[in-house]
């Protein structure tokens, strides 16, 4: 337990360092963008957009990029290394669930080693680190969801200036937040239809069941237990299992509540479809101060931008593009990978900095990548492998 008891670091979670409201509010006027808004047409499921052909793009790439820095290869390898840590996290979660379900103590040292590796990846670059949550595994949600929630929670906590000890406990609570589900029937967890009233009531007991499981295991401190217990509570008292108001919800629980919701909304689950990341971000922002801690919401937006990496967007000229990296100067104008021409025909992808675009394009609305059958992660992965760098343009 040495990593949990670092001396000289406070246990005090009573307040978050505030984030400058002006920085966020300058770029959060989503309903009234600088350009005249374009109405989104009625969504009709189109035919699948095939991978781009190996030919020259139908229009020349617009580049503001200087010669690639010498660190480009290192940046690329750092990104892939962080992805490996995420994959290993799924293995650790599966092992923890198996041990606790069978009445054995979890391997707490393996869990702490994973948390330390996640912290190392976060310290290298918080923005790249949190973007790992865009990678989803629909067939492995029970194991991948806790890892994504831990990644998101740690990045938000780091932005809110949590110290190392607090980040370790936040990551631990996030990784274990759904452990109480091992006490629920497997048929219910694997159900594709919506829950009945009695099933929903049983599901809402899983935070309390998680505390029981972890107390019996006896290897985590009390604030981790509180983070697990409170991860479905809401500031206005509408959450569960106890309906606590905001002042009675532990800060770890407040951050995990936001991270858990965002990952769940953007994931395909047995009984729910996914939402585009930008739409999910708008939803949690609309509930800031009602359900979710405002400073945690601001931190999430600062990390992801208004269009999180992997968001499928329609540009003003009709092209489809994928949000790649945010522009710190203007969160509403990310760097995007353009994947079609104005007529929707696939082209060889190229990058555009919307904040400094000679053509003057802007995002008109978001598209549903699942409905459009566009594998945005595959486009991003291919782009990274082809260019060996995360930052291919200036931003």
- Which CATH number covers residue 59? 1.10.3210.10
What order do you get walking across the sheet with 335-340 strand by strand?
A: 346-353, 335-340, 320-325, 312-315, 363-367
Query: Among the listed ranges 41-55, 137-151, 216-230, 321-335, which one has the minimum average pLDDT value?
Result: 41-55
Q: Which letter, b or e, does each residue of 278-307 get, where b requires 16 or more Cβ atoms within 10 Å of its Cβ? A: bebbbebbebbeebbbbbbbbbbbbbbbbb
Whether residue 116 is contained in a domain is answered as: yes
95 vs 132: which has the higher pLDDT: 95
The number of domains in the chain is 1
Whether residue 27 is contained in a domain is answered as: no
pLDDT at 71 over 60: no
Whether residue 29 is contained in a domain is answered as: no
Residue 175 contacts by C-beta under 8 Å, 6 or more apart in sequence? 89, 92, 93, 96, 111, 114, 115, 146, 147, 149, 150
Which residue bears the tokens 């948390």?
A: 115
Q: What pLDDT digit, counting tens, does each position of 297-355 carry?
A: 999 999 999 999 999 999 998 999 999 988 888 989 999 999 999 998 999 999 999 99
DSSP string, 14-33: S-PPP--HHHHHTT--TTS-
Output the pLDDT for position 390: 52
Whether residue 15 is contained in a domain is answered as: no
Whether residue 330 is contained in a domain is answered as: yes
Q: How far apart are CA 354 and CA 356, in angstroms?
A: 5
pLDDT at 52 over 60: no
Q: What's the Rg (C-alpha) of the chain?
A: 21
pLDDT at 234 over 50: yes
Of 153, 150, 212, 145, which is closest to residue 180 (Cα–Cα)?
A: 212
pLDDT at 22 over 50: no
Whether residue 329 is contained in a domain is answered as: yes
Q: Which letter, b or e, does each residue of 235-271 get, where b requires 16 or more Cβ atoms within 10 Å of its Cβ? A: beeebbbeebebeebbbbbbbbbbbbbbbbbbbeeee
Q: How far apart are CA 28 and CA 355, in angstroms?
A: 15
Percent of the chain having pLDDT more than 90? 53
Tokens describing residue 92: 């650790």
Contact assessment for residue 310 and residue 323, using Cβ atoms and an 8 Å cutoff: yes
Output the pLDDT for position 383: 84
Output the pLDDT for position 82: 57
Q: How far apart are CA 252 and CA 162, in angstroms?
A: 11
Output the pLDDT for position 186: 83
Whether residue 284 is contained in a domain is answered as: yes
Q: What pLDDT digit, counting tens, does each position of 119-130 carry?
A: 988 888 888 888
- Look up the domain containing 115 and give its range: 2-9+35-387
Query: Among the listed ranges 163-172, 270-279, 325-334, which one has the minimum average pLDDT value?
Result: 270-279
Q: How far apart are CA 132 and CA 392, in angstroms?
A: 18
pLDDT at 36 over 60: no
pLDDT at 26 over 50: no
Whether residue 254 is contained in a domain is answered as: yes
pTM: 0.81
Tokens describing residue 225: 């237990």
pLDDT at 235 over 90: yes
Tokens describing residue 247: 């002042």
Q: How far apart are CA 98 and CA 23, in angstroms?
A: 45
Query: Among the listed ranges 184-193, 231-240, 373-382, which one has the minimum average pLDDT value?
Result: 184-193
Q: What is the dihedral of CA 133, 395, 19, 295, to 10 degrees?
A: -20
Average pLDDT, the chain: 80
Q: How many CB atoms within 10 Å of residue 227?
A: 30
pLDDT at 83 over 80: no
Q: How far apart are CA 389 and CA 71, in angstroms?
A: 9
pLDDT (mean) for 124-151: 85
pLDDT at 43 over 70: no
pLDDT at 31 over 70: no
256 phi and psi angles, rounded to 5 deg: -65, -35
43 vs 148: which has the higher pLDDT: 148
């Amino acid at each position: 337990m040495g990593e949990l008891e670092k001396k000289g670091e406070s246990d005090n979670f009573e307040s978050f360092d505030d984030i400058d409201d002006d920085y966020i509010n300058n770029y959060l006027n989503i309903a009234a963008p600088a350009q005249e808004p374009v109405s989104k047409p009625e969504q009709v499921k189109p035919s699948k957009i095939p991978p781009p052909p190996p030919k020259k793009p139908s229009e020349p790439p617009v580049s503001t990029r200087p010669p690639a820095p010498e660190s480009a290869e290192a940046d690329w390898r750092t990104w892939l290394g962080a992805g490996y840590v995420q994959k290993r996290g799924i293995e650790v979660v599966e092992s923890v669930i198996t041990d606790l379900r069978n009445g054995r103590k979890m391997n707490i040292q393996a869990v702490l080693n994973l948390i330390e590796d996640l912290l190392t990846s976060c310290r290298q670059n918080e923005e790249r680190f949190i973007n790992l949550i865009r990678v989803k595994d629909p067939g492995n949600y029970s194991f991948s969801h806790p890892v994504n929630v831990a990644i998101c929670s740690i990045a938000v906590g780091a932005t809110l200036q949590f110290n190392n000890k607090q980040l370790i406990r936040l990551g631990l609570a996030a990784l274990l937040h759904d452990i109480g589900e091992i006490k629920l029937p497997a048929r219910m967890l694997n159900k594709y239809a919506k829950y009945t009233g009695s099933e929903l009531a049983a599901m809402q007991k899983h935070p309390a069941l998680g505390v029981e499981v972890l107390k019996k295991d006896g290897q985590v401190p009390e604030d981790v237990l509180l983070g697990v217990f409170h991860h479905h509570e809401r500031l206005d008292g509408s959450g569960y299992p106890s309906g606590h108001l905001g002042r009675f919800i532990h800060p770890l629980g407040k951050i995990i509540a936001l991270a858990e919701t965002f990952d769940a909304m953007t994931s395909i689950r047995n009984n729910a479809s996914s939402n585009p990341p930008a739409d999910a971000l708008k939803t949690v922002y609309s509930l800031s101060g009602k359900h979710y801690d405002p400073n945690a919401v601001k931190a999430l937006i600062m990390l992801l931008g208004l269009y999180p990496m992997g968001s499928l967007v329609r540009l003003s000229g009709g092209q489809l593009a994928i949000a790649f990296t945010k522009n710190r100067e203007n969160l509403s104008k990310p760097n995007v990978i353009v994947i079609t021409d104005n007529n929707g025909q696939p082209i060889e992808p190229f990058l555009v900095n919307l904040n400094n675009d000679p053509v003057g394009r802007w995002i008109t609305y978001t598209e549903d990548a699942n409905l459009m059958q566009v594998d945005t992660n595959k486009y991003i992965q291919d782009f990274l492998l082809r260019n060996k760098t995360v930052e291919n343009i200036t931003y």
